[in-house]
Amino acid sequence: MIYLDHNATTPLLPQVKETLKELFGEEYGNPSSPYHTGRRARDLLEESRHRLAELLGAKPSELIFTSGGSEGNNMVCELDLESSGLNYATLTAHKLGGPKGIGLLYIREGSPFSPLITGGGQERSLRAGTENVAMACAFAECFEWFCSNRSELESRWLGLRKKFLDSLEEVEHCFLLGTSDESLPNTLNLGFQGISAESLLICLDLDGIAVSSGSACSSGAMEASHVLLAMGYSHEQAKSSLRISMGWNTSEEDIEELSRQLIHHVRKFSLPHLALLIFFTAGMTGCGKSPELENYERCLELLNHERKEARKSQNYSYDSQRFLECRAPVQYGS
């Protein structure tokens, strides 16, 4: 699998995986317990908090461990932020090579705050619940690695992005959403006029390449990005967009394979190509549908059925093998 959806989540860094394996096995104490195992857990938790604070340029007392970005956002979404300076910020580990389920909330000293989760006195009574020590340590590990390697990563991503965009220069109907100089160095959002992102996503998935059509926060639903619509793009443009996001393990070979397969599928789905296909496969003598056109329509019918059934059960996967069998070339008799 070539994974190019790092803005949705990232694979664990090898060193983070080892940290989790060690701590989940050995450091099981409750940080609130007074005996040695609990004190050891407390030391590890506070050490992680201090490491993160130093990297962020914040005070340790301004950081609260949470279960992720969504929890942190809900903690502060009803507060009025001061116009000068940053009073609140949320972070999550799984976008940086860390595990899912651990986040961080920054609250500037003196800023108003009311706890969302109450009960125990953990996190200075600002977020109740037993802290996950192993996950907090893994967060500090991945964030430290990212900060140390950020410059090298960004340079590599920019080089790979340029290589990819150069390979698409000859592709018709391709357009860039946003500007490359104002986007994140690891991210590209592309559109292909007249071609739905859903069609390209399915084809690339069958090729073993994972990209996205936008945020993964919509339970797998492939809808037009509200962000692109707010930026002024049309519904058709937003529906045709592919988001490609690189990560710590993205290689030049990954980008080359993406380019090769994407160009192949875009040309296959391009309007002139489809028009030519329909013209010939419908039969030049007016004798009805050819086997190829019937096969094409059968394939579309199957995909539409799969999508409807998947949405009913909130399972947005599809049967790749059935699709492959459906799109297999028609065999002619003698």
Are 102 and 139 contacting, i.e. CB atoms less than 8 angstroms apart?
yes
Helix (H) or strand (E) holding 209: strand 209-210
Pairing of strands 103-107, 88-92: antiparallel
The distance from CA 296 to its chain's CA centroid, rounded to whole angstroms, is 31
**217 part of the active site:** yes
Q: How far, in Å, CA of 305 to CA of 309, rounded?
A: 6
Helix (H) or strand (E) holding 322: helix 320-326
Query: Which amino acid type is present at position 147?
Result: C
Closest Cα to residue 160, out of 259, 44, 28, 270? Answer: 259
Q: How far, in Å, CA of 169 to CA of 147, rounded?
A: 34
**Which one of 137, 174, 217, 287 is the catalytic residue?**
217
- The residue whose two tokens read 């430290």 is 144
In sequence order, the 6+-apart residues with CB closer than 8 A to the CB of 269 are 192, 194, 195, 199, 200
CA atoms within 13 A on the CB side of 108: 10
- By annotation, the residues acting in catalysis are 217
